[in-house]
Amino acid sequence: MSHLTVAASEHAFKELFKLVRDGFTFAKSDSASFGPFSASYSVKLHLEKGSIHLNNDGTIEIDALDVVWDTLKLEVCFDFPGFTIPGFCIIPDPWNGCLVGIPDIHIGGPICVPLDLSGLVSEISKVRAHLKAKYYVDPGRLPGWTDLQAEFAGKPNKWRIFIDPDFVSVDPIDVPATIGNLFENAIEQAIEDLLPGWLPGFVKDLLMALLQPVVDIVKAVLNVFDSVEDFLQDLIGEQLDLLGQIETAVADYFANKYPIWEFEDPYPILTDGPLIPVKIPLRNLKADVNSKEMIVTGDIG
Amino acid sequence: MNKLSIDPNIAHVGLDSGALTMLGAVVHRFEEPGEYRGTVRGGGAIERTFYLSVDKESAVAAADIDLAKLAGSLPRKAEKDAGCCTDEGEVRFSVNPRGYVLFRVSGGQGGYSVNLRRADPNEKTPVFNSTALDGGASFSARVLRPGTYAVTNARGKAPRATLTVAYPPKAFSGYRPPEALKVEVTERGFAPDKIQLMPAQGLIFDCRAPARIVITLEKADDGPGKGGKPK
């Protein structure tokens, strides 16, 4: 039988969870190449809402946790296949081909299309976890220090209770149709911006007229089979693996970074007296939940 | 973002078969086998010489001679190096007498003419001069600037023709020019003498009489919208 038992009600646990949730932020910038195109991104996000349930089997379930993308900026770059002023045949050959012709004039180059999706909200639909107690030795603690010296230096060892996820399920980001239109407009603008300012209007208008509708260009270059929104959703979620990175970051954060509670070891008792505090060592700390509360047990000595 | 590198000569207005630019080209068939010595002239000066071997054994049905590369006048080094003529050595082309030779300008300011005569020292007679096309030579033109043009034959007194080039349709319309239009040039003039072209549509003059085709802009068309923007 354990020497020590500490309990926190479900309500208290939920309040503690809010502190953990609100401490989470994730920010990253990176780029990747995908053959016909490359993409770079800059993201920053935090978590909001979410409902938490404690179960008698010792598991914790967190549902509908909002992922708020404070920053979600993408830039997609690709080699625009270019403007082509078609050539023509002067002397046809006897087999319906062309023996002598004026070649096409090709004008092409890379374009980059920025897209700002900041403010989007997606969802972590489910986190299933259990509690895990981990012993923490403060890395700033010097080897020769006594427990008391470590406490005075503010670097005591600790037992930490973490929400250790068994799995985190992040829903795909739902990119609205308006964003698809924005992306197409941005491509149109980027193509227009490719043309040098000195180019006379009639040449610009001719080159632009020779282009396919931008949606066809996008589909051809970026291997988009359905809608632009689906492409962006796949780009963010799968190709850039942002959803996977969030899963990992959330799981790592809950399991290792921000404990739901922590106990100093040795644990100080009788701290208000004139003497130095009395401290008792904690051993074999374990944490569990049932449907009503969180229970932490441990031994003294 | 970087702007595209576009040869500014694409916006050149007006064409002259005797001073070829990147919007014009000449095609000629050399039916008599033999060795020919050619000169590329920019203005009056000789820019480069080359040799053309018209040989029944040649498998080349269409020799493509880029006068800009020959003259070394392309604006970008990569283009200069991509062709035949990066050094000052002898440049040779070959074509079958049943084939054709295309003289064109791939970039740069242009203004070239080409002249070929038999390389045989006993034969002085010029056999081809692009400033005086004849005998079935063709001058092909890309007239990009919308507007109305006068088309004249500087080698004859035949009446001029009128050429109209339409304004391009709206952006991203996937516009494709129709097939090139053929115009016959004889001593009587041009047939047809009223030429309507769609934007970037090719124009081929089939020269049956001595001809130097000059296309001169008379009235520009800046499009139906403000600032020349098409609606």
Q: What is the pLDDT of residues B86-129, one digit of tens each?
A: 455 678 999 999 999 999 998 888 999 999 988 876 666 668 99
- Structure-token pair, residue A179: 């964003």
* DSSP H or E run through A130: strand A121-136
Asked if B172 and A211 come within 8 Å (Cβ–Cβ), the reply is yes
Mean pLDDT for chain B?
A: 86
CA gap A17, A259 in Å, rounded: 9
CA distance to partner chain A, nearest, from residue B35 (Å) = 22
Of B4, B62, B229, Cβ closest to residue A195: B4
What span, in angstroms and rounded, lies between the C-alpha atoms of A136 and B177? 75
The residue written with tokens 């981990």 in the block is: A134
Task: Find chain A residues with C-beta within 8 A of B66's C-beta.
Answer: none
Query: Using the beta-carbon criterion (under 8 Å), do A201 and B1 form an inter-chain contact?
Result: no
- Name the residue facing B228 among A108, A195, A201 (closest C-beta): A201
Domain coordinates of chain B in residue numbers? Answer: 25-129, 138-228
pLDDT tier for residue B157 given thresholds of 50, 70 and 90: confident
Q: What is the mean pLDDT of residues A244-249?
A: 92
Nearest-CB residue to A109 (from B2, B180, B230): B2
Check pLDDT > 80 for residue A95. Answer: no
Contact: A205, B229; criterion CB under 8 Å: yes
Task: Give B24-39 pLDDT, tens digit per residue.
Answer: 999 999 988 889 999 9
Which residues of chain A neighbour B206 with C-beta distances below 8 Å?
none
**Which pLDDT tens digit goes with each residue over A117-155?**
899 899 999 999 999 999 999 889 898 898 888 888 889
Q: Tell me which of A157-161, A238-242, B94-98 is least confident.
A: A238-242
| Confidence (pTM) | 0.71
ipTM over 0.95: no
Cβ of residue B227 closer than 8 Å to a chain A Cβ: yes
- A41 exposure class (CB count in 10 Å sphere: 0-12, 13-18, 19+): buried
> What is the residue type of B20?
L
Domain ranges of chain A: 4-300
The average pLDDT across A255-274 equals: 86
**Mean pLDDT across A94-114:** 81
Helices A214-221, A177-194: inter-axial angle, 10-degree rounding: 90
Does B202 contact A88 at a Cβ distance shorter than 8 Å? yes
> Which residues of chain B lie closer than 8 angstroms to A212, CB-CB?
172, 174
Top-confidence residue, B182 or B44: B182
Confidence at residue A67, expressed as pLDDT on a 0 to 100 scale: 94
The pLDDT confidence band at residue A86, using thresholds 50, 70 and 90, is confident
Tens digits of residue pLDDT in B48-82: 899 999 999 999 999 999 999 998 765 554 444 44
Q: B212: closest CA among B119, B72, B121, B113? A: B113
Q: What is the mean pLDDT of residues A4-9?
A: 89
Interfacial B residues in 165-194 facing A (CB < 8 Å): 167-177, 179-180
Whole-number average pLDDT of chain A: 88
Q: Is the pLDDT of residue A277 over 50?
A: yes
pLDDT of A225 reads 64
> Looking at the partner chain, which of A90, A201, A211 has a beta carbon nearest the beta carbon of B140?
A90
At A87, is the pLDDT very low, low, confident or very high (cuts 50, 70, 90)?
confident
Residue of chain A whose Cα is closest to the Cα of B144: A203
How many residues belong to chain B? 231
Sign of CA dihedral A281, A286, A290, A294: positive
pLDDT of residue B149 exceeding 90, the answer is: yes
Higher model confidence: residue A102 or residue B17?
A: B17
